[in-house]
Amino acid sequence: MSDNGGPSYGPNEPTSFGLQPPRPGPAHVPHEGNPYATAAPPQPQPHPQHQHQHQNQHQNQQPQPTQVVPEQAEPGAGRLVAGRYRLLSKLGHGGMGTVWRATDETVGREVAVKEPRVPDHLPDRERANVFERMRREARAAARLDHPAVVNVHDVAVEDGQPWIVMEFVQGRSLGAALQEGTLGVRDAARVGLEVLGALEAAHAAGILHRDVKPDNVMLGRHDRVILTDFGIAQIEGETNLTDTGGFVGSPEFIAPERVLGQRPGPASDLWSLGVVLYAATEGVSPFRRNNTPATLQSVLNATPAAPASARGPLADAINGLLQKDPARRPNAAQVRALLERAAEPPAPQPTQVVQIGSAQGGLRLGRKALTGIGAGVVALAVAAYLVVANPFAGPLPDGWEKHSEKALGVTVAVPEDYQTGRPTETDTDKNWVTYTDWSGSIRVGVNVSRKKDDTLSQIKGSARAQMYDDDTKFKESGDSDLDMPEGAETTPDANAKYKEQDAARNTVVYKTDDTENPLPREVRFFYFKNKAGDMYRVSVGYPGAGDFTDRGREVADDVLTNLDIAEN
């Protein structure tokens, strides 16, 4: 299957970046009025440090926060291009080129310069196509007069190759920001409005972007949002560039009609915007799979889970944009109306009084008290009151005991007659423990994936993302450890909390893969990622039908209620 131009992806290449949870601690804002960017750590060099423009990356690369290194360490730094652009340091690179921070010595301003990236072995015709795409990128962006489109200053020719000279944007990509956490509804809506404005300007000029994704959305100073990388844009009236077997864009953000080889239109870019908004708020890309063919099948056939964090008008916009039929998607004006509603600040709340305890002897806190004495003091007051008023809150069920698993950093409560299973000396994985009742019908398992041991980057960026990743596996391939065939029924919960921190749950129902006597099973899963980046999975499995079902659900409730995971 092919489309016009663009990079070519192999069938087993990964299809997405990993999304990360919010990091604990106070947010660092490098520029006033920019709620998205995190300040870069100070560098031992005389130049001011910023995080910079992050251009389109190849699909199988994990986006990394851009960090300026000393200029003398950069091969090529100091080179003068076209007699006026002095290269200083690399900002990023992708399939079509490397982006440099540079100085325009003619007018004395900082610029971003995109160097063409062409393998030496490439045939002349394909090299010419690469250069032509870069010229088109410059022409497409230069045709657009919109604050959310990166400004192109010049196309310099050096050794017969075009170098695109653009404005230098101080900030980072949305893809890099999502490595640290998702956006709230209002922030996501504001970003969506700016990208929508850039797309409206492009469409009005007869240009389709065709590669709208988080890595191509820059979050700059003073709340500026910029859509970048028009390198594979299709300009109305121009001859198509075709690579045999190639795909334009990133598979998980490509609209279904483009996967089918149909003629794309503005609705195709709007689909991609819907996928971006879903990933920005939910912490996981809805169509991401382990390889490109599976991702394209997902784009064509899979129905994403309803947005959990994005509610109201933003959820309506996302659900509308992800309609498979482009004719059923809302147009730009309808999307704008929904996003504007989602971006509105909340209405002022009337004065409220928090009542703790009885009306006669309880603790009453008004809104002024809540804001005046601070949330920390309120929390202490509430906690102290609860301890005095109810010293027996949260007791263990009768006949239960706690197991302190210090090696795992967790304390688990289970019935005292449950049998404990631990790793043997020959087991390579030591980060687990199980507790099973004598009948073997109910089983509690705790597994910890350590960040320090995660050399293959299998730990997802958040508990929610890990849950959704497992959810996909349960549905598509099952789980041999649980005797689970493919096609399990799941009920994911992405809004769970643990100690006021993000967590996730899932309930999985299936029949075992025993061909002679398949048994119904139900498993509750709980996911939590601590500050050290370790991923905790707690599972409670029990019969899905019969006398033990209610008992299993009761055990699952009590295990998760009394679970205690170390913060570090």
Binding residues for ATP: 114
| Residue in the structure block whose two tokens are 């688990």 | 412
Strands 234-235 and 410-415: unpaired
Q: Looking up tokens 């027996």, which residue turns up?
A: 392
- Phi/psi for 558 (5° steps) reads -70, -35
**CA distance linking residue 21 with residue 10, whole number of Å:** 29
Sign of the CA dihedral running 102, 106, 108, 111 = negative
DSSP secondary structure, 160-210, as one string: TEEEEEEE--BEEEHHHHTTT-PPPHHHHHHHHHHHHHHHHHHHHTTEE--
Q: How far is CA 36 from CA 152, 221, 307, 362, 462, in A?
A: 24, 10, 21, 41, 18
On whether the CB atoms of residues 1 and 259 are closer than 8 A, the answer is: yes
Cα end-to-end span (Å), the chain: 48
SS3 of 341-400: the string is HHHCCCCCCCCCEEEECCCCCCEEEEHHHHHHHCHHHHHHHHHHHHHHHCCCCCCCCCCE
Contact (CB, 8 A) for 518 and 541? no
Vertex 49 angle, CA 47 and 55, to 5°: 120
DSSP class per residue in 29-89: -SSTT-SSPPPPPP-SSSS----B------TTSPP-------GGGSTTTTPEETTTEEEEE
What phi, psi does 142 have (nearest 5°)?
-65, -25
Checking phi first, is residue 126 left (phi over 0); if not, alpha (psi -120 to 50) or beta? Answer: alpha
Q: For the stretch 415-438, what's the b/e string if a residue is b when 16 or more beta carbons lie within 10 angstroms of its beta carbon?
A: beebeeeeeeeeeeeebbbbbbbe
How many secondary structure helices (H) and strands (E) does the chain include? 12, 25
Residue list, annotated binding site:
114
Residues 32 and 51: beta-carbon distance below 8 Å: no
Strand pairing partners for 489?
509
CA distance 302 to 289: 11
At residue 80, φ and ψ (nearest 5 deg) are -105, 120
Count the alpha carbons within 13 Å of 455 in the hemisphere toward its beta carbon. Answer: 1
Instruction: Single out the catalytic residue among 3, 154, 187, 211.
Output: 211
Instruction: Assess whether 104 carries a catalytic annotation.
Output: no
- Annotated active-site positions, please? 211
